[in-house]
């Protein structure tokens, strides 16, 4: 895994997300997931960057306008994909690890969110997670970075993705399934799900209306002001999706068949 990750490090720190959840095998037979841990970048960061010396921060208005108008540090208007999955699992939204005091950390048994905007991936991550007991993993591919508003080129009559960028990141998603299959074989009792963001985004882009979107090219926030119809926008800022988008992805990965492979999360919870 390290090799393919290393090659795409520069890209993957921008907007990929990696997340994993850990399930106590004996509990999962009763269909309960005891804890949910999140590792990733800005797409799932709940505020870890607020108090560190990082450029990527979102604890300012208009982030969080639909999160009780509270700029928690989430890079979106409302909840992230990870927040929504936690809710579907019946768990609390995992708090930002750096937002919880050292003494309180011992009281949290249902998982933390370690995601940090603009993060990278360390070689030790895989060992940082499986050896600690995680068995069920949801791993995302890299989306079509060439289609985020900051990459799109606009002409009076059209909006075009930067296909050079898309082709640069595509091999990651293409190679991920085989790599995860290999890991699943090597790591006993592990289960991996892939979030095929690359191809699912393509489906949304071809027929946005089917998913409730009217705009899949522009940032909802313009000139520092959020748009009123946030539910119709795919992107909240120049890089990150709206809560509406996160909901489409969370619902599809949890219950559907078009985004997550080889199973959706609901099925994985029941598998052991
Ligand atoms: C998993 O659940 C079993 C049964 O409730 C318990 O004995 C065990 O300590 C749990 N393991 C972890 C890692 O929480
Ligand atoms: C949300 O918070 C911002 C910044 O604190 C404030 O300017 C704005 O009026 C608030 N909006 C609502 C709807 O409360
Ligand atoms: C990570 O692993 C790769 C492949 O084994 C190695 O080439 C690279 O130097 C490692 N990077 C770090 C920072 O240890």
Per-residue model confidence as pLDDT tens digits over 88-137: 999 999 999 999 999 999 999 899 999 999 887 777 776 688 888 888 99
Is the predicted pLDDT of residue 230 greater than 50, yes or no?
A: yes
pLDDT at position 260: 95
pLDDT at position 84: 96
- Beta-bridged to residue 225, according to DSSP, are 222
User: CA–CA separation, 83 vs 94, rounded Å?
Assistant: 7
User: CA–CA separation, 189 vs 153, rounded Å?
Assistant: 46
Q: How confident is the model over 147-183, as pLDDT tens digits?
A: 999 999 999 889 999 999 999 999 989 999 999 999 9
- Rounded to a whole number of angstroms, the distance between the first and last alpha carbons of the chain is 24
| DSSP, res 154 | E
Report whether residue 70 contacts ligand 2, using a CB cutoff of 6 Å.
Answer: no
Residues having CB within 6 Å of any atom of ligand 1 = 24, 26-27, 133
CA of 63 to the centre of ligand 2 (A): 10
Q: How confident is the model over 31-84, as pLDDT tens digits?
A: 468 889 999 999 999 999 998 998 899 999 999 999 999 999 999 999 999 999
Candidates 109, 233, 130, 263; CA nearest to 188 is: 130
Query: Where along the chain do its domains lie?
Result: 3-269
| Prediction pTM value | 0.86
pLDDT at position 126: 64
Residue 152 CB-half CA count within 13 A:
18
User: CA–CA separation, 182 vs 64, rounded Å?
Assistant: 39
Q: Which atom of ligand 1 is nearest to the CA of 34?
A: 14
Report whether residue 9 contacts ligand 2, using a CB cutoff of 6 Å.
Answer: no
- Cβ neighbourhood burial of 256 (10 Å; 0-12, 13-18, 19+): middle
Is the predicted pLDDT of residue 222 greater than 90, yes or no?
A: yes
Report whether residue 123 contacts ligand 3, using a CB cutoff of 6 Å.
Answer: yes
Q: Give percent of the chain with pLDDT exceeding 90.
A: 72
User: CA–CA separation, 133 vs 155, rounded Å?
Assistant: 51
Report whether residue 61 contacts ligand 2, using a CB cutoff of 6 Å.
Answer: yes
CA of 81 to the centre of ligand 2 (A): 24
Indicate the fold that domain 3-269 takes in CATH.
Answer: Rossmann fold (3.40.50)
């Amino acid at each position: 895994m390290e090799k393919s990750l290393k090659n795409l490090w520069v890209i993957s720190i921008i907007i990929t997300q990696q997340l994993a959840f850990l399930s106590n095998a004996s509990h999962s037979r009763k269909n309960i997931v005891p804890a949910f841990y999140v590792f990733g970048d800005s797409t799932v960061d709940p505020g870890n960057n607020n108090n560190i010396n990082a450029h990527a921060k979102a604890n300012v208005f208009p982030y969080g306008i639909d999160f009780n108008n509270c700029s928690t540090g989430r890079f979106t208007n409302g909840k992230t994909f990870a927040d929504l999955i936690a809710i579907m699992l019946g768990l609390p939204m995992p708090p930002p690890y750096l937002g919880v005091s050292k003494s309180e950390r011992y009281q949290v048994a249902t998982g933390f969110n370690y995601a940090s905007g603009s993060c990278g991936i360390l070689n030790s991550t895989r060992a940082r997670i499986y050896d600690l007991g995680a068995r069920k993993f949801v791993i995302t591919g890299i989306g079509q970075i060439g289609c985020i508003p900051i990459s799109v080129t606009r002409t009076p009559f059209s909006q075009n993705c930067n296909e050079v960028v898309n082709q640069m990141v595509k091999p990651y998603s293409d190679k991920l399934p085989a790599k995860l299959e290999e890991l699943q074989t090597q790591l006993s009792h592990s289960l991996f799900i892939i979030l095929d963001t690359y191809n699912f985004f393509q489906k949304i882009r071809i027929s946005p209306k089917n998913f409730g979107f009217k705009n899949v090219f522009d940032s909802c926030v313009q000139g520092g002001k959020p748009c009123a119809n946030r539910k119709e926008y795919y992107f909240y800022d120049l890089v990150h999706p709206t809560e509406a988008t996160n909901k489409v992805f969370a619902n599809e990965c949890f219950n559907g068949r078009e985004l997550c492979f080889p199973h959706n999360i609901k099925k994985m919870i029941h598998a052991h």
